[in-house]
Amino acid sequence: MATAAEAKRNSTTQAVAELREALGDRLSTADAVREQHGKDLTWHEGESPDAVAFVHSTDEVQKIVYVCSKYGVPIIPYGTGTSLEGHITAPYGGISVDLQQMDAILEVNPEDLDCRVQAGVTRKQLNENLRDTGLFFPIDPGADASLGGMAATRASGTNAVRYGTMRENVLSLTAVMANGEVVKTAGRAKKSSAGYDLTRLLVGSEGTLGVITEVALKLYGIPESIAAGVCAFPDVESACNATIQTIQMGIPVARIELLDTLQIQAANAYSDLGLVESPHLFLEFHGTETGTAEQSELFGAIAEECGGGEFKWATKTEERNHLWQARHDSFWAAKNMQPGLEALATDVCVPISRLAECVSETKKELEERGFYGPIVGHVGDGNFHFQVFFDPADEAQTKSCKEFVDSVVLRALAMDGTCTGEHGVGLGKMKFLQAEHGAGLQIMRQIKMALDPKNIMNPGKIVSV
Amino acid sequence: MATAAEAKRNSTTQAVAELREALGDRLSTADAVREQHGKDLTWHEGESPDAVAFVHSTDEVQKIVYVCSKYGVPIIPYGTGTSLEGHITAPYGGISVDLQQMDAILEVNPEDLDCRVQAGVTRKQLNENLRDTGLFFPIDPGADASLGGMAATRASGTNAVRYGTMRENVLSLTAVMANGEVVKTAGRAKKSSAGYDLTRLLVGSEGTLGVITEVALKLYGIPESIAAGVCAFPDVESACNATIQTIQMGIPVARIELLDTLQIQAANAYSDLGLVESPHLFLEFHGTETGTAEQSELFGAIAEECGGGEFKWATKTEERNHLWQARHDSFWAAKNMQPGLEALATDVCVPISRLAECVSETKKELEERGFYGPIVGHVGDGNFHFQVFFDPADEAQTKSCKEFVDSVVLRALAMDGTCTGEHGVGLGKMKFLQAEHGAGLQIMRQIKMALDPKNIMNPGKIVSV
The answer to whether domain B105-221 and domain B225-331 are alike in fold is no
Among A190, A383, A385, A411, pick the best mutation site for testing chain B contact (most B Cβ within 10 A): A190
Q: How buried is residue A386: exposed, middle or buried, by Cβ count under 10 Å (0-12/13-18/19+)?
A: buried
Stated pTM of the model: 0.97
**What is the tens place of the pLDDT at every residue in B52-66?**
999 999 999 999 999
Would the CB atoms of B418 and A153 count as touching at under 8 Å?
Answer: no
Show me where the domains of chain A are located: 4-100, 105-221, 225-423, 429-465
Q: How far is A389 from chain B (nearest CA, A)?
A: 24
Q: How buried is residue A1: exposed, middle or buried, by Cβ count under 10 Å (0-12/13-18/19+)?
A: exposed
**CATH class of the domain at A225-423:** alpha beta
- How confident is residue B313, by pLDDT bands cut at 50, 70 and 90? confident
Task: Look at A11-20, A67-76, B305-314, B450-459 and tell me which has the smallest mean pLDDT.
Answer: B305-314
Question: Is 80 exceeded by the pLDDT of residue A439?
Answer: yes
Cβ(B350)–Cβ(B382) below 8 Å: yes
Q: Which residues of B touch A446 (CB under 8 A)?
A: 450-451
Provide the Cα torsion A55, A61, A66, A69; round to 10°: 90
Q: What is the pLDDT of residue B27?
A: 98
Q: Which residues of B touch A350 (CB under 8 A)?
A: 189
Among B191, B206, B256, pick the best mutation site for testing chain A contact (most A Cβ within 10 A): B191
Cβ(B2)–Cβ(B10) below 8 Å: yes
Domain A105-221 sits in CATH at 3.30.465.10
Q: What is the pLDDT of residue A43?
A: 79
**What is the tens place of the pLDDT at every residue in B337-392?**
999 898 888 999 999 999 999 999 999 999 999 999 999 999 999 999 989 999 99
Q: Which residues contact B334 (CB under 8 A, 6 or more apart)?
A: B262, B263, B266, B343, B374, B387, B389
> Given B153, B294, B451, which is nearest A193 (Cβ)?
B153
Q: What is the pLDDT of residue B35?
A: 97
Cβ(A296)–Cβ(A228) below 8 Å: no
Q: How is domain B225-331 classified at the CATH fold level?
A: Alpha-Beta Plaits (3.30.70)
> Given A114, A352, A444, which is nearest B195 (Cβ)?
A444
Q: How is domain A4-100 classified at the CATH fold level?
A: 3.30.43
Domain B338-437 sits in CATH at 3.30.70.2740
Between the alpha carbon of residue B157 and those of residues A296, B139, B385, B438, the distances in Å are 32, 6, 11, 28
So what's the ipTM on this one? Answer: 0.96
Cβ(A160)–Cβ(B191) below 8 Å: yes
Q: Which residues contact B440 (CB under 8 A, 6 or more apart)?
A: A183, A184, A185, A195, A198
Question: Is 90 exceeded by the pLDDT of residue B43?
Answer: no
Q: What is the pLDDT of residue A464?
A: 84
Cβ(A80)–Cβ(A122) below 8 Å: yes
Question: Is 90 exceeded by the pLDDT of residue A40?
Answer: no
B344 forms beta bridges with: B388
Task: Count Cβ atoms below 10 Å from residue B400 Cβ, excluding itself.
Answer: 16
Q: How far is A393 from chain B (nearest CA, A)?
A: 30
Query: Across residues B144-167, what is the average pLDDT?
Result: 97
Give the type of residue at B111: E
| Angstrom distance (rounded) from CA B328 to CA A58 | 45
> Given A197, A413, A443, which is nearest B203 (Cβ)?
A197
Question: Is 80 exceeded by the pLDDT of residue B276?
Answer: yes
Chain B CA closest to residue A193: B424
Backbone φ and ψ for B229, nearest 5 degrees, come out as: 180, -175
Q: What is the pLDDT of residue B1?
A: 58
Q: Quick one: how far is CA A302 from the chain centroid?
A: 30
Between the alpha carbon of residue B102 and those of residues A29, B28, B62, B117, the distances in Å are 60, 17, 14, 9
Would the CB atoms of B196 and A205 count as touching at under 8 Å?
Answer: yes
Give the type of residue at B248: Q
